Structure 1
Amino acid sequence: MNKSAAQKVDPGPQSRNLQAVIVAAVRGLLGDAGQPLALHEPEFAGREWDYVKDCLDTGWVSSVGSYVDRIERDIASFTGCKHAIATSNGTSALHICLLLAGVDAGDEVLIPALTFIATANAVSYIRAVPHFVESEAVSLGVDTGKLDAYLQETAQIVNGVCVNRSTGAPIKALVAMHVFGHPSDLDALVDLAQRWKLVLIEDAAESLGSYYHGRHTGNFGRISALSFNGNKIVTTGGGGAVLTNDPELARRAKHLTTTARLPDRWNFLHDEVGYNYRMPNINAALGCAQLERLPAMLQRKRQLATRYQQAFATLDGARFLSEPPGTSSNYWLNAIVLDENLAAYRDDVLGALNDAGYGSRPVWTLMHRLSMYRDCPRMGLDVAEQMEARLINLPSSARLGG
């Protein structure tokens, strides 16, 4: 017997049964995976070729061009936000949001531990400190009740500023992330931010096409960020946007993302440190074509989510993660949650799904577990840790809902 065979451990009958029923449920919904199904892949079935070719034919491929202007108008129109500023990616959009929120080096920013690393990295770019907070199990967003109780013990308002009693550092902002496209409890977040003198920023990177009580995400924070990465519903290859209803913040966002250059016929004059964060025209062209088809893609993604919900409705051992009450989710990524007593078998299920050709993954490693963030301040994270151990994302491409 070779070494690898000797080390292989039988997962046991309970794990094997769980793997079998989940793979069978996914196979019954998606059919046999002749070729491996990606977790989420882009769909190019509109005028993407036409618009990109127009950029190549005219030579307008960089950060100035008609498609950049158009995508900003189209994003604002679709989301209902008054202003959208197209950026090179979602992380740069978050970076600008934090700068516009007045976050300085040494300040603390409340962010969920259950988030993609871009949320924490953007805080670090300013040399501010991520302060990790708990999530709740319905939306996977920030648990406002627990956070409020935590702040009452940990923070105080001094001259209109929220201050950490232990570190003495100002706590400037609260970033609410809409996980997998499911809107967080935004009314409660707005109320908490107002009472604790925090700037509310929405990390809406995953929630284009998601609504909270009929209003699109990104409209509740003072400023918000979108992502158009290759795995998002709408992609520009790489890209993002800053959203705001404040005209002065919009002006500042555009100025900062355009290297803080002052208007002049030929001189290069800059009045502060700026960033080369504008979206190129060729990427915007791709996004304009994608946005034309967004309603249809959202409809198919909701159809897929409904089928997943039905497939797991009577399945023992796991439940489908549905949109919170009062919201309409884009279901960017569909997810199931294993029963608490079956969390130890998560990786077994992931292995079985991927071996069968169904691209699946766990949720991100919680931020406080990463070496560069393990010493950052944090509250109790029991729910986030439980959900990290039990969540599994399933194939979610729009074409699967057709």
Structure 2
Amino acid sequence: MQHIKDTITFIQDIYKTNEFIPLHAPTFNGNEKKYLLETIDSTFVSSVGSYVDQFEEMMTAITKTKKSVAVVNGTAGIQVALRLVGVSAGDEVITQALTFVATANAIAYNRASPIFLDVDLDTMGLSPEAVSQFLEEFGDLREEGCFNKKTGKKISACLPMHTFGFPVHLDELKTICDAWKIPIVEDAAESLGSEYKNKPTGSIGELGVFSFNGNKIVTCGGGGAIVTNNENLGVKGKYLTTTAKVPHAYEFYHDELGYNFRMPNLNAALACAQLEQLNSFLIDKRALAEDYKSFFATSGIKFRNESPHTKANYWLMCVELENLKERDLFLSETNNAKVMTRPIWQLMYRLPMYQHCQRDEQLNAQFLEERIVNIPSSVR
């Protein structure tokens, strides 16, 4: 109990307040108001405007990719990215059950089904070993792709999620998926600024998708981005997310089913101002992580660190408690003291719409579900 009280005092000290401390509040110290006023004055506040183009150029540079597509949110981005790599109705997608519900929902929006496989304890993200074991048991490699021996359905994609900004073991996962002809789409929603072996997350799979929701490291209220090194897929993504309209000066003709997933210029203006500050945010958050690391080293509570060969953005920092009882006590005491903490997500197969989905034993995911708690992680 004392170690929890000490944790509360430490967090209040580093944020210099005894008032409510949120989990992750946005920081607007740059050109946000200036760019928003410019956008309003231009009257281009919807899906056409210079800031949409600028946002896409900035995301291409930050992720070191060849093409970026601005979208209305990260979930929509994943939905389209899965379609771009060939996910169709009746197909299956390998992913993790330890994730935010948007990961699984984006699969379902394509009328496909998730296959939930276990995570690694160190990254909390999809385990290459779990994927390999599953494919060795259930995979049927054919000329036209990989099929599931149990269901007879095509496994059209693999969708790892970089949990809280900690990159998964991408090299191992890519080697396995390449051998089984399964394209990777990175759910990089939480990992803007994170790196795997000096490469930005989102740039290693066939496509990557980021979120700019209100609680992300960079926010524009909503918003998302698809990034890729496959320019043809990027162009197709832009086309599909802007209603699949055939370019013309004034005629409206749409030659396939597209989506109105466009990012408004107002949101893009806010995003550009935030992206200008990304490096300073990353420096601040890594300094906060070091402070937490030093404190928890002597507190009896385990602070979760980045894995070797990775650089995490430490979007949401987290601790690992001894067991479920200790976790619940920690959650109760901190929130009662106005220090916001929250548990990791419930595993997706516990939700009614995904109870029927194929899965493995989920030993690591269940272990983490009972122990991981997010702690305040805002830029100071």
The match for 1:6 is none
1:196-231 CA-to-partner distances (Å, cap 9, x unmatched) read: 110101000001000111111111100110000010
Asked whether the 8 Å contact 1:18–1:349 carries over to 2, the reply is: no
CA distance in 1, matches of 2:10, 2:24: 19
2:355 paired with 1:391: no
The correspondence of residues 302-317 of structure 1 with structure 2, limited to 5 A, is 302-316=286-300
Q: The residue matched to 1:94 in structure 2 has which SS?
A: helix
Instruction: Letter of the 1:287 partner, please give it.
Output: A
Quick check: 1:29–1:311 contact (8 Å CA) kept in 2?
A: no
Tell me if the contact between 1:176 and 1:203 (Cα under 8 Å) persists in the aligned partners: yes
In structure 2, the partner of 1:176 is 160
SS in structure 2 at match of 1:396: coil
Query: Out of 79, 87, 92, which is 1:108 matched to?
Result: 92
SS at match of 1:42: coil
Structure 1 partner of 2:126 = 142
Amino acid corresponding to residue 23 of structure 1 in structure 2: I
Deviation at 1:351, TM superposition (A): 1.1
Match of 1:12 in 2: none
Post-superposition offset of 1:150 = 1.9
Identical-residue share of aligned pairs (%): 44
- Alignment TM-score, normalising by the size of structure 1: 0.92
Does residue 1:38 correspond to 2:19, yes or no? no
Q: Does 1:329 align with 2:312?
A: yes
- 1:309-345 Cα shifts (integer Å, max 9, x gaps): 11111222x2000011111100000000012xx3322
Query: Partners in 2 of 1:28 and 1:232 — Cα distance?
Result: 23
In structure 1, the residue matched to 2:58 is: 74
CA root-mean-square deviation: 1.2
Gaps of 5+ in 1: 1-15
Residue 57 of structure 1 corresponds to 41
Q: Go from structure 1 to structure 2 and tell me whether the alpha carbon gap of 1:18 and 1:371 turns closer, same or farther (over 3 Å shift).
A: farther
Superposed CA deviations along residues 295-316 of structure 1, whole A, max 9, x for unmatched, are 1111000000110111111222
Query: In structure 1, what is the Cα distance between the partners aligned to 2:362 and 2:232?
Result: 37
Mapped contact 1:236–1:284 kept (Cα < 8 A): yes
Q: Distance in 2 between matches of 1:47 and 1:27?
A: 29
Residue 376 in structure 1 maps to residue 357 in structure 2? yes
Match in the other structure for 1:83: 67
Distance 2:155 2:347 in 1: 21
Letter in 2 for 1:109: V
Helix, strand or coil for the counterpart of 2:51?
helix
Q: Distance in 2 between matches of 1:48 and 1:322?
A: 32
Question: Is the counterpart of residue 199 in structure 1 residue 183 in structure 2?
Answer: yes
Whole-angstrom CA distance in 1 between matches of 2:72 and 2:317 = 27
Give the CA deviation at 1:158.
2.2
The yes-or-no answer on 1:166 pairing with 2:150 is yes
In structure 2, the partner of 1:224 is: 208
Q: Give 3-state SS (helix, strand or coil) of 1:348's partner.
A: helix
TM-score scaled to structure 2, two decimals? 0.98
Q: Which has the larger radius of gyration?
A: 1
In the TM superposition, what is the alpha-carbon distance from 1:19 to its structure 2 partner? 3.3
1:338 paired residue number:
321
* CA distance in 1: counterparts of 2:236 and 2:274, whole angstroms: 27
Establish whether residue 348 from structure 1 lines up as the match of residue 332 from structure 2: no
| 2:11 paired residue number | 26
TM-superposed CA distance for 1:21, in Å, is 4.3
> Residue 187 of structure 1 corresponds to which residue in structure 2?
171
In 2, Cα distance between equivalents of 1:388 and 1:376: 19
Cα shift readout 1:89-145 (whole Å, capped 9, x = no counterpart): 000100110100100111000010011100000001011001101001101111111
| Whole-angstrom CA distance in 2 between matches of 1:69 and 1:131 | 36
SS of structure 2 residue aligned to 1:226:
strand
Structure 1: distance between partners of 2:121 and 2:306: 11
Q: For 1:199, what is the secondary structure of its paired residue?
A: coil
Equivalent residues of 2:12, 2:18 under 8 A apart: no
1:126 aligns with 2:128: no
Deviation per residue, 1:182-201 (Å, 9 max, x gap): 11111111101101110101
Provide the rounded CA distance (Å) in 2 between the counterparts of 1:263 and 1:29. 53
Q: Per-residue CA shift, 1:143-164, capped at 9, x if unaligned? A: 1112201211122112242111
Q: Quote the Cα distance in structure 2 between the aligned partners of 1:17 and 1:312.
A: 13
Distance 1:19 1:87 in 2: 41
Partner of 1:358: 339
Q: Is contact 1:29–1:308 with CA below 8 Å preserved after alignment?
A: no
Where does structure 2 lack aligned partners over 5 or more consecutive residues? none
In the TM superposition, residue 30 of structure 1 has moved relative to its aligned partner by: 3.9
1:29–1:46 Cα change, 3 Å: closer
Aligned to 2:302: 319
How far residue 17 of structure 1 moved from its aligned partner, in angstroms, is 4.3
Q: Is contact 2:213-2:219 (8 Å) kept?
A: yes
